[in-house]
Structure 1
């Protein structure tokens, strides 16, 4: 069960969120706050797993409130405006809900939080890396490891190419993303590319052939060829 609080200067919004939380067994509402400063103080002195917070509040914005926290819980932003999505992305928000909030949309956001919490809680245990989570398009995205074919580095970003042709763009260095993936299952073959080893169908010269694409193997990563052939 995730312990949560809600902060919003609109009483009706707090009532709606409290009603929705009561309908989801995975959540326990600890307290609600109309005053952002009081809510921030509670967060600094209590263990909270999930924070629902409005962005536009008179005393302090939800963005600034979250930035001020040394130990941040998972965050779901709520707002009537769309123009704060990038700030939510910067703060690694679980999701971003536009008012008026529909229950089904609320429940989907909570499902992401529950899954992400389980992922973090079980980190280091066998099998925990069957899925990874990255931030893309202003929200957290779950990726099944077995669906990843290769990674393409684009300076500060990485394109994650999936088996169904879908591409997910995330703001993360290649090195950090590889650390999230199961050790030995993915190998760098070039400054710009890393592949899922089992997705490589053949190697010819300095090229690795996957299902629908061939990728270059650089001189500095030529040892991949010997390792793959074993």
Structure 2
């Protein structure tokens, strides 16, 4: 697995640091560096790298505004000397957020996050045991291994992903949205407030589903769908 990347930063020394770090990682190929956002945007309108190392504080246009302007947004690792932009960066679904001065270990960890995300998007992991998704929580991208999901619960504007061997993960997303990235045959909605993994269903009785650790209700509007994918006549 390899990544193509560009770096956009108005500080020449920061660009040189990215160049030197990339040469130490055979998985990454640097295809362009730019000292101003406008040149970077022009390049990105013609080429489509996997990843951008993007400074936030630039004189002509901020890295945040640049990211918002991209029609086809690559993976982004923001780089900046200022902590206060972290939330804004992750709202734009950044892979990571690196504070300057950046050391190589922290840089490489961010790159490997991007590599993992590319693997997921290209469906390199095709079996249930290896499948995973990423969600944003607590200003980070959290890797959710699908076999560890017990159930997913709606909480107004958020969802809570309950896991087998870890604390629940809360992320700003709807049940409808997460269903779009989950394997269709492995996860089903049973209620306006719940999604369950099919492989964790142990029994069904009185319009309730018994999972490994909890019993959840089946919503009236989902009853027929549940019967169909369970292959049963009554609940």
Same fold, TM exceeding 0.5?
A: yes
Q: How many residues align?
A: 229
Distance 2:181 2:32 in 1: 34
* Alignment of structure 1 residues 174-213 onto 2, 5 Å: 174-213=175-214
Matches within 5 A, 1:32-181: 32-122=33-123, 127=127, 130-181=131-182
Q: How far 1:33 moved relative to its partner?
A: 1.7
SS of equivalent residue, structure 2 residue 25:
coil
Q: Describe the SS at the equivalent of 1:84.
A: helix
Instruction: Extract unaligned runs of 5+ from structure 2.
Output: none
Q: Does 1:28 align with 2:29?
A: yes
Q: Secondary structure at the match of 1:180?
A: coil
Q: CA deviation at 1:8?
A: 1.3
Change (3 A) 1:152 1:27: same
Structure 1 distance, partners of 2:153, 2:68, is 31
Q: Is the 8 A contact 2:189 2:196 kept in 1?
A: yes
**Structure-2 change in CA distance of 1:218 and 1:70 (3 Å):** closer
Deviations 1:57-96 (A, max 9, x none): 1221110111122222111001111111222122211111
Relative to the length of structure 1, the TM-score reads: 0.89
Say what the alpha-carbon RMSD is for the aligned residues: 2.3
Q: Partners of 2:190 and 2:123 in 1: how far apart? A: 30
What is the deviation of 1:197? 2.1
Tell me how far 1:138 sits from its aligned partner: 3.0
Q: Is the CA contact 1:158–1:172 (under 8 Å) kept in the aligned structure 2? A: yes
Question: What stretches of structure 1 of length at least 5 have no aligned partner?
Answer: none
